[in-house]
Amino acid sequence: MIEEKDIEPIGQFLKTHGLKGELNVQLDVDSDFINPDTPLIVNMDGIFVPFYPDSIRPKGRFSSLIRICGIDTEQKARQFVNKTIFALKSQLADFIGEDEDGDGEYAENLIGFEIFDETSDRMIGTIESVDYSTANVLFILEHEGETVYVPATADFITGFDSDNKIINMRLPDGLINLNTKEPKL
């Protein structure tokens, strides 16, 4: 059973499109996140139900058209209109830093998010940019007046709060101090 603590909103169904069950959606994640193996989770009468996309195609700059497996008429598609689309947090974490080329361009979607470190139980800073120059994608943020690099890896990410733009991470002890001018021992 899918629980609310395990999912994160990623967009919304806006309206039906055509007569064959397509839906116009607005996504907060790159449309490449959507694939036949990624369930789109929808709250249907208080139960989070996974639906699998059959196809997705861009429609304009800010929306896409999605067809869901088994939804093949406008009438069936209407039940989704104005509903929030959720994704599993675990799949979102795996998606960060990965794209089909493996160069991590999707981490840029998180610029402006704050990082909360569960290890030290404090806010570390806000992601200002992303560094793709190394084998590991890095979030670049300012912490106490200094630039700090944090690996953008699913291994450290424990959750997302997209409403408040916070990424919860469990960072190894001492990681934040590695890049400072005067390491704190």
Q: What is the mean pLDDT of the chain?
A: 82
Least confident of 7-16, 21-30, 48-57, 86-95: 86-95
Reference 64, options 26, 105, 98, 104; nearest CA is: 26
- Beta 166-169 vs 114-117: how paired, if at all? parallel
Q: Is the pLDDT of residue 99 over 70?
A: no
Q: What is the DSSP string of the chain?
A: ---GGGEEEEEEEEEEETTTTEEEEEESS-GGG--TTSPEEEEETTEEEEE-EEEEEEETTTEEEEEETT--SHHHHGGGTTPEEEEEHHHHHHHTT--TTSS-GGGGGGTT-EEEETTTTEEEEEEEEEE-SSSS-EEEEEETTEEEEEE--TTTEEEEETTTTEEEE-PPTTTGGGGSSS---
The top-scoring range by mean pLDDT among 39-43, 90-94, 144-148 is 39-43
**Measured distance between the N- and C-terminal CA atoms of the chain, rounded to whole angstroms:** 45
Residue predicted with more confidence, 123 or 174:
123
- 37-72 pLDDT, tens per residue? 889 999 999 999 999 999 988 887 678 899 999 999
pLDDT of 111 strictly over 90: no
User: Is the whole model's pTM more than 0.75, yes or no?
Assistant: no
| pLDDT value for 104 | 44
Confidence of residue 180 (pLDDT cuts 50, 70, 90): low
